[in-house]
Amino acid sequence: MTYRVCFVCTGNICRSPMAEIVFRARVAEAGLDELVEVDSAGTGGWHEGDGADPRTVAVLEDNGYDGGHTARQFRSSWFSRLDLVIALDSGHLGALRRLAPTEEDAEKVRLLRSYDPAAGDDLDVPDPYYGGMDGFEECLEMVEAASVGLLAAVREDVEGQAA
């Protein structure tokens, strides 16, 4: 049975595609790519059909990641097929939980940085869109740090499903 994770930010061109690509690489490194499906979406549809922001692509490539991306908008109907919905900030968390058809679906929504013990109380990944490259680099650092704990949680869930 495939375990499905979807990362969600605002427009699906900066943070969530970055998280998707990084986490997909972590899943592959862990040998779980046959069991875990990773994708991303935005809370809004402003960029639907567009590729990732060129700064996102540049930061990912500079750090050894590759992968294509086409932006899309998250739909409430997706909850039924997803195991985990990862919000990039508290605004997305609230929007996604309001969109969830059931309480069980709302419980699938988690903040990415909640998987990073070093994050403390600051669980939002700031939107780098209106800033410079340093914001994209900071975003990547946060995504990579949280991906370690997220991978451990997903591995536990996948092994639990297999038992």
pLDDT recorded at residue 131: 96
How much is the pLDDT for 67?
83
Q: What is the pLDDT of residue 11?
A: 97
Task: Give the catalytic positions in this structure.
Answer: 9, 15, 127
According to DSSP, the residues that pair with 39 across neighbouring strands are 6
Q: Where are the domains of the chain?
A: 3-162
C-alpha span between 163 and 161 (Å, rounded): 6
pLDDT along the chain (163 residues), means of 10: 96 98 98 97 96 97 94 98 98 98 98 97 97 98 98 95 75
Q: What is the pLDDT of residue 1?
A: 86
**Fold exhibited by the domain 3-162:** Rossmann fold (3.40.50)
Question: In one letter, which amino acid is 153?
Answer: A
- Which tokens belong to 141? 């650092």
For 36, the 3-state DSSP assignment is strand
